[in-house]
Amino acid sequence: MAKRAKRSGGAGKSPRRGGKGRRPQHRRTERAGTDALLGAIEAALAADEPLPLLDLASTALHFADPRSDDLLEQRGTPRDSIETLIANLFDAPIEETSALLTAVAVLTGDGELCRRVHREIANRGHVLPRWLVQLEATRPTRVLSIEHVLGDGDEILLGVELPDGRPLTASVYVDHNLGAVVKDAVVVPVDPDTTAELLRQGFDPDVTVRQLDLADARARLTEAIEHGALIYPPLESDTWPSSRPLIEWMVGLLPDGGTGYQRPEWTPEQRQELAERFLTTPFAADLTIDDDLRELLDDVLWFGTDYGPGDPLRWSPVNVEILLADWIPRKIVAEVSRLERAPDLLRAFIRYSHAERGIREQLTVETLDAVDEWEPEYQQAIRTPRLQGPEALLARMGVLDEDAALAARERPEEDDDPPRHG
């Protein structure tokens, strides 16, 4: 599966210092930044294919996107509005800004803005590449989904054809362990089938490639992009989310009316039935079946049905790590004597689940190895004072000081205000 950008903001106004004619530092910084951008546009126009300019336009829109605020704040970079970006490009009537302005306008999907830009470029008299002038005529071609039997994520390959016939493919990784969200994405200048062939060298026997309905692909990608934008801390790679505006434009070319990812619904009765079925198989023969074990199994099934893609029989090294390194220590409040049995229960349930699903033996071995790898850290975590539930989430977001919160818990009860009942 595929595994997968930044500018500095201008300073505020500062007084001129020194001898006659000396420029303020921020002027030199702005000029250097402008020269770099113009040089990048010039190089993109000189390239033999459209992607460099589209990447620049996507990155520019990313820096003006409110969804990027958390990432920009981490870097101390102020966000420009899209209106400011467009106004700056209109205010500099040179060929480089005409090219970037055209690409930016199309990627926004704003028809009125595109018409304004066409009029502006015509008045400027600049001659731009045909593919760029006709960019709105880009059409979708084919969408492939590369899927692994363990279901950690899908690589969706969305293909479009530019007006001059050249292909682009958005390779988008949708992570199911995080809840079907876009974790990484890149656009490449080839068609989806060629992209799949390039990726095929990294495939194992458990990977399948299938064609997706165009409308279903739009529904899936739209949901995954929207849900991914809500995750904190933000998901980031070398190309994501800077490629998000370009990929959203490509997704917008697909037809409406499709069906997104379908999450199975499990009733308490169905979960109980699965638990009883497992406990009566030879896979559970070495377990001591008592109330504590049944409670623990219910917790494991809760994780399987309510988190990730919602399949309690899907176990991979990745979701084993999530369960042992984070989920149980953070979510489950219980005696150590119960929690410490989770790795043994998990080993038995993984063997059962993989047998039910017909998973290849080597994948079962790798998943069981993950239990061995994470058990020491897990056993230490459940014996260590820790925040749980909403407090743990707030600490991970940096909103709550974990040490201070744990110290407050250790204060004698009489030091605290008595609880109030509504």
For residue range 350-366, what is the model confidence (pLDDT) as tens digits? 999 999 999 999 999 99
Instruction: Please check whether residue 21 lies inside any domain of the structure.
Output: no
Instruction: Please check whether residue 192 lies inside any domain of the structure.
Output: yes
Helix, strand and coil content of the chain, in percent to the nearest 5, comes to 55, 10, 35
Q: Is residue 417 pLDDT above 90, yes or no?
A: no
**Confidence category of residue 28, pLDDT binned at 50, 70, 90:** very low
**Confidence category of residue 406, pLDDT binned at 50, 70, 90:** low
The predicted pLDDT at position 71 comes to 84
Q: Are residues 171 and 225 in the same domain?
A: yes
Q: Is residue 41 pLDDT above 60, yes or no?
A: yes
- Last residue within a domain, chosen from 136, 163, 191: 136
Residue matched to tokens 């001659």:
127
The predicted pLDDT at position 289 comes to 97
The predicted pLDDT at position 121 comes to 94
- Last residue within a domain, chosen from 365, 381, 397: 381
- Of the listed ranges 14-28, 187-201, 244-258, 268-282, the one predicted with least confidence: 14-28
Q: Which amino acid is at 308?
A: G
Q: Is residue 299 pLDDT above 70, yes or no?
A: yes
Q: Are residues 188 and 117 in the same domain?
A: no
Q: Which amino acid is at 143?
A: V
| Owning domain of residue 119 | 26-136
The predicted pLDDT at position 124 comes to 94
Radius of gyration of the chain (CA): 27
Residue 230 gets which letter from DSSP?
Answer: T
Q: Are residues 161 and 143 in the same domain?
A: yes
Instruction: Please check whether residue 355 lies inside any domain of the structure.
Output: yes
Q: Are residues 229 and 284 in the same domain?
A: no
Over residues 12-24, the mean pLDDT reads: 38
- Per-residue pLDDT tens for 114-166? 999 999 999 999 999 999 999 999 999 999 999 999 999 999 999 999 999 99
**Confidence category of residue 72, pLDDT binned at 50, 70, 90:** confident
Q: Is residue 385 pLDDT above 90, yes or no?
A: no
**Confidence category of residue 171, pLDDT binned at 50, 70, 90:** very high
Q: Are residues 281 and 376 in the same domain?
A: yes
**Confidence category of residue 400, pLDDT binned at 50, 70, 90:** low
Q: Can you give the length of the chain in residues?
A: 422
* Rounded-to-integer distance, Cα 269 and Cα 283, Å: 22
Q: Are residues 281 and 221 in the same domain?
A: no
Q: Taking a C-beta distance cutoff of 8 angstroms, is the pair 144, 216 a contact?
A: no
Residue 340 CA from chain centroid, whole number: 33
Residue matched to tokens 């230490």:
380
Angle between helices 291-306 and 268-279 (to 10 degrees): 130
Q: Which of 235, 244, 245, 246 has its CA nearest to residue 71? A: 235
**Confidence category of residue 70, pLDDT binned at 50, 70, 90:** confident
* Rounded-to-integer distance, Cα 109 and Cα 354, Å: 46
The predicted pLDDT at position 35 comes to 77
Q: Are residues 240 and 229 in the same domain?
A: yes
* Share of residues in the chain with pLDDT > 90 (%): 73
Containing H/E element for 193?
A: helix 192-200
Helices (H), 47-129: 51-62, 69-75, 82-90, 95-108, 111-124
Over residues 74-103, the mean pLDDT reads: 90
Instruction: Please check whether residue 19 lies inside any domain of the structure.
Output: no
Instruction: Please check whether residue 362 lies inside any domain of the structure.
Output: yes
The predicted pLDDT at position 399 comes to 57
Q: Which of 183, 262, 187, 185 has its CA nearest to residue 228? A: 183
Q: Taking a C-beta distance cutoff of 8 angstroms, is the pair 260, 312 a contact?
A: no
Instruction: Please check whether residue 386 lies inside any domain of the structure.
Output: no
Q: Taking a C-beta distance cutoff of 8 angstroms, is the pair 241, 67 a contact?
A: yes
Q: Are residues 30 and 130 in the same domain?
A: yes
* Share of residues in the chain with pLDDT > 70 (%): 84
User: What residues pair up with 140 in beta bridges, in sequence order?
Assistant: 160
Instruction: Please check whether residue 259 lies inside any domain of the structure.
Output: no
Residue 79 gets which letter from DSSP?
Answer: P
Over residues 166-190, the mean pLDDT reads: 96
Q: Are residues 275 and 178 in the same domain?
A: no
Q: Are residues 310 and 368 in the same domain?
A: yes
Q: Are residues 349 and 312 in the same domain?
A: yes
pTM of the model: 0.83
The structure tokens listed for 184 are: 């990484």
Instruction: Please check whether residue 68 lies inside any domain of the structure.
Output: yes
The predicted pLDDT at position 414 comes to 47
How many domains are contained in the chain? 3
Q: Is residue 50 pLDDT above 90, yes or no?
A: yes
Beta-carbon contacts of 16 under 8 Å, excluding residues fewer than 6 positions away, are: 22, 23, 24
Q: Which of 161, 170, 167 has its CA nearest to residue 190? A: 167
The predicted pLDDT at position 113 comes to 95
Q: Is residue 286 pLDDT above 50, yes or no?
A: yes
Q: Taking a C-beta distance cutoff of 8 angstroms, is the pair 71, 259 a contact?
A: no
Is the model more confident about 243 or about 21? 243
Torsion of CA 202, 207, 208, 214, to 10 degrees: -70
**Confidence category of residue 31, pLDDT binned at 50, 70, 90:** low
Q: Is residue 105 pLDDT above 90, yes or no?
A: yes
- Last residue within a domain, chosen from 136, 166, 192: 136
Mean of pLDDT over the chain: 87
